[in-house]
Amino acid sequence: MNFYPRNSLAITAVAFAVCAASLLAIGGCDNSTTIDGVARVSPESVKGKTAVRGTVKFLGTAPERKVLKNEPCHDGAPKTILDETVVVSADRGLMNVFVYIDNGPQVDGGPLPDAVLDQVDCRYVPHVVGVVVGQGLKVKSSDPAFHNTHYTPGRNASNNFGLLRAGHEKTVRFTAPEIFHVRCDVHPWMSAYIGVFDNPFFAATREDGSFELNNVPAGQYMLVAWHEIYGELRRSIAVGDDGTIDVDFEYKPPS
């Protein structure tokens, strides 16, 4: 499932405000990077002082997690693993949900440290991983087994590369925001999702369904929760100059 940013006027307004602030403060505009035709500012230039936090809950009876075969993988690996598509905690928290600001400032993630997508005992770790446009994603293997990493996004270049053994890695970058599936053709149960975002204000929910977006600048935004099965939930939020905003989401299973 792909997503496309909305409210381009809001994005432009935020980028203009950041640029104007830079002009006043240092006499220059930090808006010199262009990726795929989009002018982008540095992540440091858009940092605010507000935290947006909350929990994503699952209402109703959680589906039973499927037991997946995990063989052949490698000696010492568990023979079965649990599917990570729908992971619900004892207090109804839903794990592996992307929560992100849809219409934030457009930044170049190149200066940010690489995110990591590992392959451990024939599982992708983590199940969902996010990067900013331009930021490196280090795809690595901790397994003494051959893997290939295969994805066919809608807006970014497709790729299919192999990692032969433990310690092998490859760093990839993306030029457009979207969420897409990645798989291993050698071990077809292996499944993960990569989220590429316009701004650094995103997170994946933890085991208890909680999330926190830090350093959000003041503004009016659309906050989105995205799950690979249950889709999107959207909330409009007003972020002040500092403090904390609490926002919760609730998914209901299909009737």
* pLDDT tens sequence across 66-85: 999 888 888 889 999 999 99
Sequence letter at residue 206? R
- If pLDDT is split at 50, 70 and 90, which confidence band does 15 have? very low
| pLDDT for the residue 1 | 37
**8 Å CB contact between 210 and 18:** no
| pLDDT for the residue 31 | 53
How many domains does one find in the chain?
1
> CA Rg, the chain, in Å?
19
In 3D, which of 27, 240, 213 has the Cα closest to residue 132? Answer: 213
Is residue 3 a part of any domain in this protein?
A: no
Is residue 1 a part of any domain in this protein?
A: no
Q: What is the mean pLDDT of the chain?
A: 89
Is residue 178 a part of any domain in this protein?
A: yes
Is residue 221 a part of any domain in this protein?
A: yes
In 3D, which of 154, 248, 156, 135 has the Cα closest to residue 200? Answer: 135
Q: Find the farthest-apart pair of alpha carbons in the chain and give their distance in angstroms, rounded.
A: 61
- If pLDDT is split at 50, 70 and 90, which confidence band does 32 have? low
* Residue 29 in this model has a pLDDT that exceeds 70: no
- Which residues in 47-205 belong to E strands, given as ranges? 50-58, 67-69, 80-82, 98-101, 115-120, 123-125, 128-132, 137-140, 147-151, 159-163, 169-172, 178-183, 191-197, 202-204
Neighbours of 255 (CB within 10 A): 4
| pLDDT for the residue 112 | 97
At residue 43, φ and ψ (nearest 5 deg) are -60, -35
| pLDDT for the residue 159 | 98
Is residue 2 a part of any domain in this protein?
A: no
Strand partners, 98: 204, 226
Is residue 172 a part of any domain in this protein?
A: yes
Is residue 152 a part of any domain in this protein?
A: yes
Mean pLDDT of 233-251: 97
Mean pLDDT of 33-59: 95
In 3D, which of 158, 176, 181 has the Cα closest to residue 229? Answer: 181
Question: What CATH number corresponds to the domain at position 55?
Answer: 2.60.40.420
Cα distances (Å, whole numbers) of residue 116 to 105, 125, 158: 24, 8, 19
* Residue 20 in this model has a pLDDT that exceeds 60: no
Q: What is the pTM of this model?
A: 0.87
Residues spanned by the domain of 203: 8-251
